[in-house]
Structures are given as structure tokens and as C-alpha cells.
Structure 1
């Protein structure tokens, strides 16, 4: 549970004068001529004809008739809107071109009586590509790298078959996922997870979430004021599958993995008239084996102990998930949605260790240890929303939503010595954590256009987190006997956190320029009571400004600069003084005086497109103050009281100075040949953190790399070969060594596209393993962890209704479902 709920983020607290100066510069950049135009104007919103989703970054050209000379051009915004201003009066052909769609054209006339033409919603249809006797519809690309958001279309990634959301995220530039499912972005682990645009339950782990449940994954590296300020590393939004096409649609999946790994899923939807019903059911049963090795040297109170430990771990994950919901659209301008989801996850884990302890010149002690952990977790979620638009005012939108999440479960850990000298304590220890988390949330968002070029938006939101819990400690004096509760070492706690929020945004478009500015206000009210160790409380008010400037350049290019201030609030296990033992020698405890960390994030991005090739380049910088860091030290008092020949290590948290990350990201999508498509991305950046001893900083140059090759040797066969690499990374007390691996997958379409058979092998060369080097006062440790990463999966999919697999898993961009508020 500690790994599920604990993360370390970073930030910098600015002064008020800096923000005033920034806002003054932003206002100064806005064009001065906001008066009504004397020439003609054309505006509208480009939408997918079937899904009515907006099409971002589509080219819109205005050609003069009859000579077809281009007199104006632009690109659609993220919500599909476009505007062409200062156009001479006359007869024109308006043309829209979007990747994966048929070009669309509309004749129009700008005359003195009607110099302004507002098209409203302009619907375009997907392109049909003729390959021999097979007609292929244009589809989403496997990875869409926009300047402000990266979208992974999960179904187009063959290496996700039988895998998890963590496997899919390895494809994103600068993203790393460790062996515990913890995500970091550009070296910052403060990433906030969302599920369908709402805060995800704390028990959600990406390495346990089946990829087949997901439609897309959105990675937002620098969210604006519309988004919650929580998450200094950015936001990852997991969008679950929900079909919106007429009639029955869906898919069924069964997957079999080597060494006892099984998965089955069913997704169904039914659209009839104004109603769209949807649901899904998933079941998982996976066995995983792993190994670990530890070499540690600890010195305190005049004695030195060396610990050499090797071990084997077995864990069995079983989970069940059920989701039901419906949409009701009484008109094209209104939609009501209601959904419910329940999830149950059981994760027993057994670890057997052979330990050798050497203290000074004394004879070595050999022990056989066993650690048991049983995670019995659940969550339930009920969500409702209402969306209202106005046909007469394109861009005007009102959205209201409410969500209630119940999250919790029990985590039981036991540590025992199975074999060792009589002088070593043989009694078993057990800690039982019982956690309940209630998270109600409500929000209201409104966007209002001010003509065709300007708009403002505002929103209110309240998040609450209420968590009562217990941590009961017991010992077993003799093997096979009853566990005896111990008052000393048992705790009760109450945790309450209320966060009211509000924001305002302003957007202005002037020719090739697009300006956005926003300000978000958040108040954090926090109170924690822990018996018998004490209490903690915080009352913090913050303002979070953001700004974006973008310019459309000739030849399908776009340049964008963005800035935002964000924060990372410590979670309750980082604050409450509640010791949680992972084994008899190591425990984690919160720190009541821990404060939020603050971060300034700045990005400068450039995107260029040549036919089917897209290159995105981003310069970024993250500057963090009051960085929350995890520190491991020797607990000399607990060691003395234990009477054992080895040391007890204590892990806690501190606001440790500043961290700085800055560097470059690249992402390339390129069709090498008609049968070979390439996606390559990577990052190179400098990571700097404060030293745990407070005597300076630790820094290194690091980065990530990912390459995905998609081959189509026949019309029905697709093959993917991919590899990823994460370079060594410094931490306050040491460094994490490099991690790398290669995956391969193939998919054969069957039965006239009604079915597909997918074979995947992850980590072909069995190279993915975690190496951690730590060093503190009187303590050095080297930890090597190897989970079962080389796994073969065979999956069979059956597609229902109009839902069919793509002829190739990486075709052209069809548009994404957009972002989310909050």
C-alpha cells in the first residue's frame, strides 16, 4: 500500500512580483487591435462525421476563385475551431485537409452585406485507402505527439496485447516506469493519474491495469489553469473504452501468457436513438516470479555490520472489474452521462531470503527469512456528467460533473525467521493495515466565445479525501501459534483533506498567433490525527498562473511556448507518523512537518510535417523548490532496542532543497516504405538534485530512447519490433542504473477482419532489471531486483458490430478525444 500511495514530486515558490511581471509581459504581447475587422472573416469547427470529435491541427485553406490562389491558411485548434481574418471580399473555395480524412471543400462568398461567414460545425469523413481488393479506413496513429499533449492509441500498439498500462507508457518520451509501477516523467516521480478525466483511486497501479481496458492514454507534460495544479511531473489520463457508433459494437479478448498468466475481457456498447449503453468486464489471474540481491554495509555506535542477502519472490495477482454506464442525448447540444465501476484486486506475495550477517570480526550468522504480504484491495466509483453546447454560438460549452470514489482494503505483512542460530529472535511479526478512502468530487466548467477570435472560460471544483484507518501490530511467540496483539506499535489515524479550487482562462487568436493565459486558485485544508504519535495540520492558499503562446508557420509548422506553476502535495502516508514495516529490518514513516513542493515548468516546442512524416522537438525546464525526497538512514535507537546483530533502516521524507531538470525531447513518425513505418523518440536532459547531506547538489546527464518499427509484409499481417532505454539517473542518496529491453509482436487478422490473433514476447533478451546504489551517513547499499519480464503472450480478439481492427496498427491520425477539465 505504501508503494501505491507514495510519490515524490518537486517545485519552486515564486514571489508575487515575478507573477505580476509575467502577467504584464503576457498582456503586452496581446495584439492591440481588437476592434471589429473591416475585411471579411471565415470561421468554423472541424469535426469527425461519425464521432463528432474535434480534429486538431488540420489545415484550412482559402482559395480565390477562379484562379485557386491561396489567400489565407491556418490550422485548427485543439478543439477543432479555426478562423481566417482580414480576407478581401470575393468568391472563394474553403478547403480542409486532415490526415486520415477525405479533403473537404465549401464554396463561399464574402460580400459587403455579409463580410463574415460562420460555418458552425463542419463534418468531414475518414478517408478510404485502396490496397488491392481491401478497403482500409483511416485510423489513429499509435502515438500522436502534439506540442501540449502526447496521445497513445492503445489498440494500435501490438506490444500492449496481454500487457499493462505500464508497458504502453514506456513508449512516451522521457517516461520511465519502475518495478513497483511508479511513473516518472523527465526524472520527476510527481505524476498525477486520472481515470477518464477524474482523479484515479489511490490503489490503482499501472503495472496491474490491463492495457485492453484502455482506448487511449494522454500524457500532459505542462497542464494549464483548466487542470488541477496537483502533479508537478504532469498528468497521465487513462481513457477507458466506450464506443459511440450506432448499433451493437465491442470486442472480446482472451489472453494466455507463459508460466500461468491468464486474462479475459469483454467490452460492449449499444447505441439506439438518443441512448448509448456501454459496459465492460475484465478478469486477471497472473503469476509472477522474481529475484533480488542486497549488499549493505552499516556503521553506527562503533560497530559495522555487513548484510549479504539473496532472495526469490512469487506473487499472484487476481482481479475482477465491472463497468456499466449510459449516455443520453436529448438533442445535438445536450448530453447526460452516468457510469459505475467496481474493482477487486488480490495480490498475495511470498519472498524467501538467505541472509548472511557479519558484524566486525565476529563469526558470520546465516539466516533463512520469509516475508509474506497480502494485498486485498477494492474500489467503487459512481460518476455523472452533463454537457451543453449552443449551435448558434460555436465554442460555447457548459459542463457539470460529480464523482464519488470509495477506495481501500487491507494490507497484511508478516516477517519470520525460518532458520538461524538460537540467539536470533525466532518469533514472527505481523502488521495489518486497514485503510478506507472516500473521495467525493464535483466541478463546473464554462467556456464562452467573444466573437470568432476570443473566448474566456471559468470553473469551480471541490475535491475531498477522507481516510480513517488502523495499523495493528502483533507477534507470534512460537511457530504455528496465535498472533498476540501488541499495543506498542499499533496505531489509529484520521486524515481529512479538502481542496476547493477555481480558475479563469482567456484565449485570443490573431492571424497565425494564438495566446492563452490562465490563473488557478487552490486552498488546501489538511488535518491528520494519529494515536498515539500525534497530529498534523496545514492551511495553504496558492495561486497558479499559466500562459501559452503558439504561432502557425509556413509549410505545416507550429511553434509553441508554455509556462505553468504547479505543486505536489504530500499524501497522508508521507505526513502521518505511522511506521509501516516492509520487513523486520526496514520501515517507512511519515513526517508531520512535510510541506508541498512547487515547480516552475517551461517548454518551447516546434512541430513540422512533411507529407506523412512528423517531427516534434521540445526544449523543457523544470525548476523545483522544497523538493520532497525519500531518505534512508539507520535507526540507532530501534536497533539498540531490538537486540539483534544487524541494523534497522528507517525511510522517511524531507523537503530537500531544489531540483532542476532541463533538456531536449525529440519525436519522429516516418513511413520508411509502404510496408515499414517508424516511430522514434527520445530525450536528453540534465538532472540535478540536492544532496541528502545538505552539502551541495548531485547531477548527471541522462535520458530515454524508444524505437518502434511496424512492418506489414502482407495485407493481413502486422509485425512490431520495439526497444527502449533509460539512462542512469541520480537521486539524493545515490543513483539508479540503466534499464533497457526489446519487445516483439505480430498480429494476424482473421475471418474478414472479424477476429485477430496476436503473439507477443516482452523483454526478448531478459535484460530489464533494476539496479539501485544508495549511500548515506554510515550506510551504503546496492540493491538488484529482477522481476519476470520475459513473457510470451498469445491473445485472440473477436470484434463485434462495426468495430474492427486496423489493417495496420499505425495508420494516420484521426483525431483524439480531447482533454479534460479539473
Structure 2
């Protein structure tokens, strides 16, 4: 939002009246007494209102205007979302300095640059090219995860495995507080209570990493900043064994701010699944029909600690450390019918078990330097180290079946450790009030050694015996140095921005005894944006960017990963990045309290990375069983394209009723696996949120979302839809809140995939437990007490982008 501020100092700036005086103070929110950063303070000489000087508040809300001559002045403060404030100050030779102390600004709805900003934060804010979700305002996220929150964003879909796709592309880059997220991060395992906002950027510029053809999702964690002790404690219970709790605290003393959070969840979900496959191999047709039930037990714990130190109003140091532990145990019991012509069918009782014991540790240091005498000039530097590790164990057992069928249990144990150090430096320099340039550089490193051991259990209940055949060790190393530069200029109603980013990718992968891979790739990524302010609170914006999607290390290394005894996935050492050109034309208009945003977009991808499912004829022949082995791998397969329209509308229908609606309709085109041209369909998403306030202390939200069928190279994904309802009651003079919600009220959300390849067809259905009732209680601590609305939450720290 800061980029939409219209600085009061635009245009030629007269020299400040030279003198010994100074005017200083701190801007605070009148209700919460939180600092107001990046607000504009203007000093005008009376009585002719001549501009004498201006300043921008620091992150802690402080400002200072130096070199002011003795006289009488009008001081004016302007902050986005607040009523302008004025006061008269007088400087004399005997008292040349004025210290105002705390200057309180009252919130007020405003419209600026085509964006409506309310005194209360909306659930969703739509800017051109960017969507911001205020998690604390979304009642339907209580007790849920980040995946639940993202279902509300236009063109976003999240499947049962936490995989995110945007406008049909699954190449979405995740950030945590403005830095690359750990590779083990799954949105369906990240508690929503840990987050302040989620930012979805569909067409990032040069200052962002080029990785992610679908866009960037930045997860901003909560961070308290108020003076004294502040925080919130939250506990949520869900039906059928679902529990979560979270605590957020801060303590500000002088120039130090200590903050931290702890959270945990323990959830159990039940579901069902089915798989039907028909394959022809060696002239014979085989059929596999599996149906069963599954139980998924998920336990997560997280700890986040940090400290800010501001030696001056222009400098700030931040150090954060985090540790998260994710444990998952999933058991699937199912019946398998196997048939191969002309043999009679056989029936097996199977059990699959997956146990994940994963951890993530992260240490990050940030430095920010601003110059009071040069508003807009800024230097930021950061260094981050992430360690991902743990084990993933999968077992497959035959519990019952014909005596001559192999009944021994099989096990694959993955031991993973991933080191992710990174460092970046960014600098922004204003040339004058209308022009500025920025530059940055960054280096990302990834080193991951690991093993994949295959073992069998000859006797029931006995030990597993490691098998040399089928066991692997691997080592993967990737280094990505990057640099960028951009230029921005304002000319009347026009805004221009152009940038260029350079990235080099160097990787080495070795799998013993399978083989090795090596890549050295250099790319340039241009980007540009042109925007114009139009009459009647309108804004028009055209943007373009070139981006890429690098395959992850499991898509490259030739390491087979077994999901069960008949299905496995393996990487392709010859896989190369896919490249995409993204263009958007957006329009935004605001009138009264209504905002309407429309965006025409197009995304055109070459060397598209596709997931392909085929028959492993050799493994099928060697198995000696009346079934077949299916293999999933990856290939650069043709071109894809999607283009269409997104619409977002926010409108109050009454003083107690507010409506938010968004949707997308676009044409999706992918290359056909059969090599006979392309597969095309028209698809889209729709989301509707209705917020009711029948009393001052009660809020009710009713929402529904729909994702239309989508084509893939080998088939299509069928529609997914559902309805959620939630209410929140404020208690004890706004000191606490009680939230009740029910997800998937009509129990309609399920995943259904239809695939077809050469000699193979497959139908997959999964239905997780999605209709869940949650009851949550929140207690606000210290001065973190909303004066009029329970949805005011502590401000998050985006952490900053660049390089």
C-alpha cells in the first residue's frame, strides 16, 4: 500500500527556511496507539501557507524537521487511512525547538489511487497486480491453515496435498516474511493463527526473484510493535479430534522491541480414496480397482523469536530465529482387485503407512538504513540460513490375499537434510521528487545430501532388511547468483517503471548408482509497468514480465519414490526450466465505499514442465504379478497458454452488510500428451463472501468458492466447490472473542482426476474430511485491545523483497 501514497512533497521543493529550530514528534493511531510509519508531515509558513519543508515518519512513527527559522507555522500530517491532522506551532529565538510528543490521528475511510482503504481492515484488499488477505479478519480461517485462506483469492486453487496453483499453473513461489520459504513448507500444515496477512503477487517486477511462473505468495507472520507488554492467546477445538493453540507476545522497551510467538496443532482427519486403472502391456489388458479409507494424524509445533533494535530513527536491526516441527502419520486401508485377461480376478487387503518426522530451523538478520534528509533513500541488507531435515518412511503391506501372492512388507526410508543459506543487498536512490532508481543483488544456495533405503520384511512382525538393489544415495547442489536494476518515474498522471534482472543457475546432481546431472544456465528477465490515474478515482495499469520455473531437485534426480507397491515417481535429469511471458491490463475504480477491479491477463509458457503417468513395462514384466506398475515422471512438453479476465468487487449493501465477490474466467491450453495438437477448455474460479454485523459485538461471515474443471496434458481435473460459515462474538468489553465456524457446510469438496495415456487410463478420487466444526477463543493481552472492533490485529512484518 505504501507505493500508492501521494507524497506531499511531489513537485519542485522550495528550500527550507534556514534556522536553528526543529519540530519533532510521533504519529500514533488514536485508537490503538500504534505507530504510523511512512506518513507525510508538511510544514507551512503562516499566513501565506508557503511550503517550508516536509518529512516522512520512520517505522516507529517519529519525524523531525530541522533547520527551521523562528516563525509561526501550520503543521499538517497525512497518513493513508486516517483523517488529515493540523496544528499550529510557534518557534521563537528563546524556544527554537518544539517537541510535540505523541500526535494522535483518527482513522477514516479514504480513496486514493483507485484503492479504497477503510479505517477497519477489509478481509481482502485488491490492488492492481496484487491481492492482500488480512487473515485476522477472515473468520473462516479460525482453526484452519494457510491453504484455507488462499481459497478466496481469484484464480487460486489448493488441492488436498497443499499444492497451490494460480491461473492453472502450479509453479508458485512461496515466501515467508519476504524471504524464500523452506522447501518443506506445506500450506495445509501452516496454521492460519501464525499469519497476519497473505500477499499474492501475480506479475512481480525486477526486484522480485524470477522463479515462479504462476506468481509469488508472501506469508507475513504476526509481529507486535506496541509499547509495553502486548499480545493475544488463542485456542481452538474442532470436531473429531482437532486442537490448536497460539500465543503472540511483544515487549517494547526504549529502542528495543522483543517479539515472539508459539503455536501448535494436533489434528486427525479421516477420508476415503479410490483408484481405477486399466492398462495394456505385452498384448494383455490388466485392471486395478482400489477403494479404501485413510486416517491422517498431523502434529505441528512452532516457535518464533525476534528482536528489533533502532539506534536511531533512520536505522533498524532485526534478528529472528524460528524452529518448527512437523509430524505426520497417514494410514490407508484398502481393498485391491487385480484382473488380467484371461486370468480370473484376485482380491487383496492392503495397508499403506506413511510417517513424516520433519523439522525446520531458520535464522535471519536484517538491517535497514534510511536518510531523513533524503526521503525515499533506503539501504537494506539481510542474511538467512535455513535447515530442513527429517525422515519420511513409507510402508506397503498385503494383509490378506491368495497364498501364492507375495505378502512381505516393503519399506522405503528417505533421510533428508537441506541447507539453504542466502544473502541479499538492496538500495533505492531518489533522483528528485519524481524519479528514483533501485538496484540489488542476491545469492541463493541449496545443498542437500540424502539417502533412500529400500527394505523388505521377510516375516510378519520381524525386522526390515535393507536391500542393496533399490537403495540409493544422492547429493544435490544448486547456486543462483542474481542481480537487478529498476527505474521509476512519475510524470503528471502517468507512472512508469522498468527493470531488468539477471540470474545464473548452476546445479550438480548425483545419484548412486543411477547417474548424475549438471546444468549451467544464464537468463535475463525484463519487466515494465505503465500506470495512469484517471478522473473519478480510477487507475489503469499495464504490466509485463518474463519469468521462469526451475524444476525442484526431486524432479531432476533419478530417484524413485514409491507411493505404493504399484505406483512410483522418478525425476528426469534432462529436465530444463520452463519460461513464461506474463502480461496484465488492469483497471480499478472506486466510488463511495465500493471498489471494482478488473484485470485482463495472459500467460504464455514454453518448455512447459508436465507431470506424465505411464506404464513401466519392464517393471511390470519382472513383477510376475497379474497387475502392472505405473510410473510418474516429468518432461518439457510443448507450450501452454492461458488468458482471460479476473474481476473483484467490494461493496456495502447496508450499514450492517458487506459483500466481497471475485472470480476469473479464462482459456487454458496445454499440449496433448498424445502429440495430436493441444487440449483446450474454458475454466475459472468464483468466490463470494458476505459479512453481516447484526450487532456491534457480533459478526457473521458466509462464503462459498467454486473451481471449474481444468484440462491437463493427459486428462482433466473435475470441479471443486464448497460453502463455509462463521460467526464471532466480542466479549468482556472487547478484551476477548469467541469464534464458531463450520467448513464445507454441505460436505461437497472432493478431488477427482481423470487421466489417459498410451495404453493407460486412470480415475482417481479422494475425499478428505472437510466438513468440520471449530470453536475458538481469543484473549487479548496488554494494550492490544481493539477499541471498536475485534478484528484489529497487530501489524505484520513483510520482511522486504529484493535481489
State the TM-score, normalized to the length of structure 1.
0.86
- The answer to whether 1:569 aligns with 2:553 is no
Task: Measure the CA separation in 1 of the matches of 2:374 and 2:405.
Answer: 77
Task: Measure the CA separation in 2 of the matches of 1:673 and 1:97.
Answer: 29
Equivalent residue runs for 1:241-640 within 5 Å: 241-640=222-621
Q: Corresponding residue for 2:105?
A: 125
Q: Aligned pair in 2 of structure 1 residues 256, 742: CA closer, same or farther (>3 Å)?
A: same
Task: Measure the CA separation in 2 of the matches of 1:313 and 1:562.
Answer: 46
SS at match of 2:704: strand
- The answer to whether 1:158 aligns with 2:139 is yes
Q: Aligned pair in 2 of structure 1 residues 239, 816: CA closer, same or farther (>3 Å)?
A: closer
What is the CA distance between 1:423 and its match in structure 2? 2.2
Cα pair 2:419 2:448 within 8 Å, conserved:
yes
Task: Measure the CA separation in 2 of the matches of 1:693 and 1:123.
Answer: 68
Cα pair 2:586 2:600 within 8 Å, conserved:
yes
Q: Corresponding residue for 1:83?
A: none
Q: Deviations over 1:62-93 (max 9, x none)?
A: 9x9999xxxxxxxx9xxx9xxxxxxxxxxx99
Number of corresponding residues: 746
What is the CA distance between 1:296 and its match in structure 2? 1.3
Q: Corresponding residue for 1:52?
A: 36
Task: Measure the CA separation in 2 of the matches of 1:713 and 1:183.
Answer: 35
Q: Corresponding residue for 1:142?
A: 123
Q: Corresponding residue for 1:705?
A: 686
Higher RCO (CA-CA < 8 Å; seq separation 6+):
1
Unaligned regions of 5+ residues in structure 1, if any?
A: 1-35, 68-75, 81-91, 109-121, 130-136
- The answer to whether 1:218 aligns with 2:184 is no
RMSD between superposed Cα atoms in Å: 3.1
Q: Corresponding residue for 1:726?
A: 707
Task: Measure the CA separation in 2 of the matches of 1:47 and 1:146.
Answer: 26
Cα pair 1:766 1:789 within 8 Å, conserved:
yes
Task: Measure the CA separation in 2 of the matches of 1:806 and 1:523.
Answer: 51
What is the CA distance between 1:300 and its match in structure 2? 1.2
Cα pair 1:629 1:653 within 8 Å, conserved:
yes
Q: Aligned pair in 2 of structure 1 residues 192, 591: CA closer, same or farther (>3 Å)?
A: same
Q: Which one of 165, 175, 185 corresponds to residue 166 of structure 2?
A: 185
Cα pair 2:222 2:795 within 8 Å, conserved:
no
Q: Aligned pair in 2 of structure 1 residues 780, 385: CA closer, same or farther (>3 Å)?
A: same
Q: Aligned pair in 2 of structure 1 residues 816, 240: CA closer, same or farther (>3 Å)?
A: closer
SS at match of 2:148: helix
Cα pair 1:616 1:666 within 8 Å, conserved:
yes
- The answer to whether 1:658 aligns with 2:639 is yes
Cα pair 1:718 1:808 within 8 Å, conserved:
no
Cα pair 1:99 1:814 within 8 Å, conserved:
no
SS at match of 1:52: coil
What is the CA distance between 1:693 and its match in structure 2? 2.0
- The answer to whether 1:756 aligns with 2:740 is no
What is the CA distance between 1:425 and its match in structure 2? 1.0
Task: Measure the CA separation in 1 of the matches of 2:524 and 2:794.
Answer: 37
Equivalent residue runs for 1:742-781 within 5 Å: 742-781=723-762
What is the CA distance between 1:295 and its match in structure 2? 1.6
Q: Aligned pair in 2 of structure 1 residues 275, 767: CA closer, same or farther (>3 Å)?
A: same
Task: Measure the CA separation in 1 of the matches of 2:663 and 2:38.
Answer: 28
SS at match of 2:188: helix
What is the CA distance between 1:811 and its match in structure 2? 9.0
Task: Measure the CA separation in 1 of the matches of 2:548 and 2:581.
Answer: 9
Unaligned regions of 5+ residues in structure 2, if any?
A: 1-9, 17-25, 50-56, 62-72, 90-101, 110-117
What is the CA distance between 1:294 and its match in structure 2? 1.4
Q: Corresponding residue for 2:155?
A: 174
SS at match of 1:266: strand
- The answer to whether 1:803 aligns with 2:787 is no
Q: Aligned pair in 2 of structure 1 residues 487, 813: CA closer, same or farther (>3 Å)?
A: closer
What is the CA distance between 1:733 and its match in structure 2? 0.5
What is the CA distance between 1:510 and its match in structure 2? 0.7
What is the CA distance between 1:388 and its match in structure 2? 0.3
Q: Deviations over 1:90-129 (max 9, x none)?
A: xx99988777411346899xxxxxxxxxxxxx99824279
State the TM-score, normalized to the length of structure 2.
0.88
Cα pair 1:93 1:107 within 8 Å, conserved:
yes
What is the CA distance between 1:817 and its match in structure 2? 5.8
Q: Aligned pair in 2 of structure 1 residues 96, 532: CA closer, same or farther (>3 Å)?
A: same
Cα pair 2:223 2:796 within 8 Å, conserved:
no
Q: Does 759-768 or 549-558 show the bigger shift?
A: 549-558
What is the CA distance between 1:820 and its match in structure 2? 2.4
